[in-house]
Amino acid sequence: MSERHLIIDAIASHPWIERAWSAGDDAVVIQPRAETLAVRPALGPLVREHLEHWSEVYEWIYETSGAGQPADLDLSGWRASDTGEPLAREHMVEWIDRTVELVREGSPRVVLELGCGSGLLLRRLHAEAERYVGTDVSEVAVDRLRAAGLSGVSALVAAAHEIGSPEVTEALAGARPDCVLLNSVTQCFPGNDYLDAVVSDALELVSDGGRVIVGDFRHAGLADRYYRWLEPDDEAATRRAVADEEFVFDPRFLALIAARATRPVSISVRAKTMTADTELTRYRCDVVLHVSAEPAPPPSAVVWKTLAGDRLAAVRALAEAGAVVVNGIPNALLDDDPLGIEPHALRACLTGTGAIVGLDLDHPARLEVCPPTGVPAGEVSPHSAPVAGEPLARFVARRLPEVIRDHLRKIMPDAKPPTLTVANGRNPR
């Protein structure tokens, strides 16, 4: 048997490899076993390594940047993608305020926050709840929260998929949360399967009438705009997209998950309404999943462009009358339509009406005014929901060849390692 065949057989002997085959003079394609990429019933080793990578990133952030920051305003790691500079403090304070308002909207008594970090939300909300459980992958962040001795708070080290662990169950002390909060954490998820598992578990755990909030994530439907905002040149924008290690998804995927839940769920997609024009306001959004919510009969719909005179005054009057959706509103941050309006201006006009500034599920550059409970998840069509490349695939393409090269050096130290490429999808052979 030739050395080439011996090398391929050695590669295939690794427990993470399903198959390996030659793809030219010095190239071998490797296909990982499905269980190495699994989320259920147990995390596969490559998924676990991906999550551990992000754990190490945040541990380093809190270890090196937390000192000197106010305990209730530790903005470690919050930097603008275009400049690399820290985001303005006043902008971040408003970002926190808007998210706190979103959580308070449901008047929760028992909150479970997955990925609580330094406690930007926890420290502002815990006094209003009977019990607040915060989990995070950073031991440094959790230790600081424990040391703060906040009333009614339990902080523990756990990843999002460990929502049903004995430790989390014990911290909840037999109570079911009426709010499960995942804010600005999904960007670290490996991909769709992991998001599906976590959100499905959250929907099962939350009490009747409760809410699951998936907040502050980049909308996949705005990904192209985001990369072009960072890089006006097409090639540079493409390189940005290829190098992006964060997970982005379309809210319609959350509707698809919610539609499979054992109880009725409605979905509400919220626009970011801070006053500053930054990536947080432009390209991120919040989703609220209302469990066992019974939406009112479908409200009448009014198209923004058909309103005459002072459109904001007309929208406010319609919102005060109730049971109305005003749609087709161009988001002035993303659309140069002369009838466009910025989200914060629309929010200001709705103060006290109970209506919210939403995003059109099919056209995320458009805003809408609607009731906070949204629409039944089962009525949302997931057609052509754009999903950016999953970070796990990029991680595996980089990490698995490293593992296999180490494996070869151990069992065939004198052999020249081939160029290794991870198969895209299932090998048809």
What are the tens digits of pLDDT across the range 329-363?
Answer: 999 999 999 999 999 999 999 999 999 999 999 99
What is the C-alpha separation between 296 and 313, in angstroms, rounded? 24
Give the residue from 137, 110, 139, 256 showing the smallest Cα distance to 192: 256
Instruction: Report which of residues 297 and 368 the model is more confident about.
Output: 368
Query: What value does the mean pLDDT take over residues 176-188?
Result: 97
Mean pLDDT of the chain: 92
* Judgement on whether residues 73 and 158 belong to the same structural domain of the protein: yes
Whether 390 is covered by a domain: the verdict is no
The CATH number of residue 4's host domain is 3.30.300.30
What is the C-alpha separation between 170 and 157, in angstroms, rounded? 13
* Judgement on whether residues 333 and 254 belong to the same structural domain of the protein: no
Residue 85: which H helix or E strand, with range? none
Query: What value does the mean pLDDT take over residues 105-115?
Result: 97
Query: What value does the mean pLDDT take over residues 240-252?
Result: 92
Helix, strand or coil, per DSSP, at residue 260: coil
pLDDT exceeds cutoff 90 at 68: no
Whether 328 is covered by a domain: the verdict is yes
Query: What value does the mean pLDDT take over residues 237-245?
Result: 90
Residue 386: the pLDDT is 59
The confidence band for 429, taking pLDDT boundaries of 50, 70 and 90, is very low
Contacts of 263 (CB under 8 A, 6+ apart): 203, 208, 291, 292
* Judgement on whether residues 65 and 84 belong to the same structural domain of the protein: yes
The tokens for 12 are 């295939």
Query: What value does the mean pLDDT take over residues 205-216?
Result: 97
Q: How many domains does the chain have?
A: 3
* Judgement on whether residues 413 and 351 belong to the same structural domain of the protein: no
The confidence band for 77, taking pLDDT boundaries of 50, 70 and 90, is confident
pLDDT exceeds cutoff 60 at 428: no
Residue 115: the pLDDT is 97
* Judgement on whether residues 115 and 222 belong to the same structural domain of the protein: yes
* Judgement on whether residues 215 and 149 belong to the same structural domain of the protein: yes
What is the C-alpha separation between 404 and 32, in angstroms, rounded? 11
The tokens for 344 are 């914060």
Residue 427: the pLDDT is 38
